[in-house]
Amino acid sequence: MNPVHVILNPNSAGSRGARVRPRLEAALADAGRAYRLHLTAEPGHARTLALEIVASGEAGPLLVVGGDGTVHEVANGLLESGEALRFPLAVLPMGTGNDFHRMMECSGKMDAVLGLLDTGRPRRFDVGFARWEKGEAYFVNLLGVGIDVEVLRRRSRFQRLSGLPQYMAAFLSALLRFQPVELELELEEGGGGPETLRKSILMAAVTVGPTVGGGFRLSPLARPDDGLLNLFLVEPLGPLEVVRYLPRVLRGTHGREPTIHLRTLRKLRIVSLDRQPFAFELDGELAPMETPWLELEMRPAALSVLDLPVPPGGESLESLTTGGTA
């Protein structure tokens, strides 16, 4: 049996990764599990480590210890290699939002996650693929445009908070000065024909799964294995309207609001109406450059993820245990 490769981000969520390392290594040793530990040293390093692991030829489970950004980097390395399905991912969530892990049935507790290395079943997760003027990348859950970018820039001001409270504090702070973005969106829908929207937007989020920001249920019916991307688009709102809508978005009951548009997609092109570059984010990390256009498409069943079996009827563990709320 090949050793388990562990990619650990020691700086995730205020150094939670570094603090959990001794307990993780002790648990792996107690289980008699051979492993190779790889520590990330800087942004982008997890992608390089994933490529090196593929090159080693030691196929098998790959344990990611970190947040959504670390999972994003590892997945990009595996997918770029063309060998992603030979390295099923297990994820020990150590980030601020952990929205990728929210798509899984297994809990985030260490014993449960390590148990997947022996008894977990590979599930095939969809991923998104984005091209822009000077680059391209995969995303495992989220590509965001609009106020979500400003939220990322402000989250460091609220490091004493974590998860959903941190995102909400940064969002309300960003809302006070954010200027809406003028975009044209050309959609190839999952259940219908093409559609073009020209909108001034507060936020446009394209997701694989249902949540962002540590639990905002933007697209509550989204699943990571349905072969579809999900668009959540919000027209400009005032602060009082945002405060009124936020509880509904948290519960995922906002589908009939006139200023919120939900679509399922296979492809999407986003163009700045004034042709000026705009910023965007990928899986909770600011993209390296701005662009006047984006092209997005679904890559179905591209990533192998170790998880518990999906319950009968396709219900998620989250809905079974929390009644559908985050």
User: What pLDDT, in 10s, does the model give residues 102-127?
Assistant: 999 999 999 999 999 999 999 999 99
pLDDT band at 30 (very low <50, low <70, confident <90, very high): very high
- Using the predicted structure, report yes or no on whether residue 27 has a pLDDT greater than 80: yes
CATH 3.40.50.10330 maps onto the chain at 4-126+302-322
Higher pLDDT, 167 or 59: 59
- Using the predicted structure, report yes or no on whether residue 311 has a pLDDT greater than 90: no
CA distance 43 to 32: 32
- Using the predicted structure, report yes or no on whether residue 317 has a pLDDT greater than 90: no
Can you give the pTM of this predicted structure? Answer: 0.91
Asked if 230 and 219 touch (Cβ cutoff 8 Å), the reply is yes
CA distance 207 to 223: 10
Asked if 271 and 184 touch (Cβ cutoff 8 Å), the reply is yes
Q: Residue 278: which of 151, 177, 150, 167 has the closest Cα?
A: 150
Q: Both tokens of residue 261?
A: 């548009």
CATH 2.60.200.40 maps onto the chain at 130-301
pLDDT of residue 314: 55
Q: What torsion do the CA atoms of 222, 158, 45, 143 make, to the nearest 10 degrees?
A: 30
Report domain 130-301's class: mainly beta
Asked if 93 and 101 touch (Cβ cutoff 8 Å), the reply is yes
- Of 44-53, 155-164, 238-247, give the lowest mean pLDDT range: 155-164
User: Looking at the domain that runs over 4-126+302-322, which CATH code has it been given?
Assistant: 3.40.50.10330
Phi and psi dihedrals of 305, rounded to 5? -130, 130
Distance of CA 144 to the CA centre of its chain: 10
